[in-house]
Chains A and B, each alone.
Chain A
């Protein structure tokens, strides 16, 4: 299924979880937040939340700024 992750279209297996998406991008889970279709997914729900076709997943972290 097609999913947009951090602005790039990717082909993921069905039933891929948010936790798996995060794992594919970074080794750490601290200082990370996820939004699916602009809605924040709490860290406690990452393992139970599956992404679906055409979802927009954004995985963010703190960077230098301001």
Chain B
């Protein structure tokens, strides 16, 4: 029996281009200057985890909000490969900015809608001046059934739209200017400040990507797409989101490994650096191997998305199934090998552990993605 995927699809480009490295350098130096751990912790304690100034520089001044948006629609006309590099760096800094939600998920949804209203909004999104957030649970996975849509109780009864319903665990909703709402009658853009929109912040595990419950009670919005188009657009966005999340996970894992290696080299117990003990050396060497593999998997997903490879859904599922676990393990090793200090609030390790663990649920668990692999590769369950 021959496997179902194209046997000799063009080889993926798994390296970083020079442009991508330049982009990385720019983002990294911005984050080094403006997004340190004490700053993140201070913001979290003030109850406003997002950093709007950082977002402005990153999204508006550097133009990263519109990387996925075609040039003719006001974006950069770049691709998933460049967005992936930005996400690697944001993961490495555990940066509290709504990049994944606005610049990736919302952008892909709007790109999939294709009408004049969506095009107009896409321009705004690409400018970085307004933040768009899909009103969908962060756990929603590609290939999973969409949650029951918000109901449009206005349709047919009143002259306008009256959206009513509740969506749980919406990431970055508190930073949103516009919510993209899936209703039974189609997709709607609803201003976050519109009458009938209530955001209830939740206490989230991941302190750097806040969650809220979105409650709509007769809210009005602009219709962007019919239900079928809306669902297809969301499906495409979830695929891209999951594929690019692998790069964020890679960034997290890399930070954890680098920090831990530096720490165990300097920390002395028993009259020698703890990093000279073979039990730790082998653990870290294995982790390094896993991170090197995660890089290949994440790059493959980004490139497959960028080129629209026919087997992109499989490549994305492979990346998610692999990178989630590596990020969590890297963060867990980071806490453990830092000893007592790794358990403190002051040390940033916990920010990464929380982000890594939440990311492992976001856009589908590793188990969900393995299930997708089973479908794509025709390896059915019993």
A and B: partners?
Answer: no
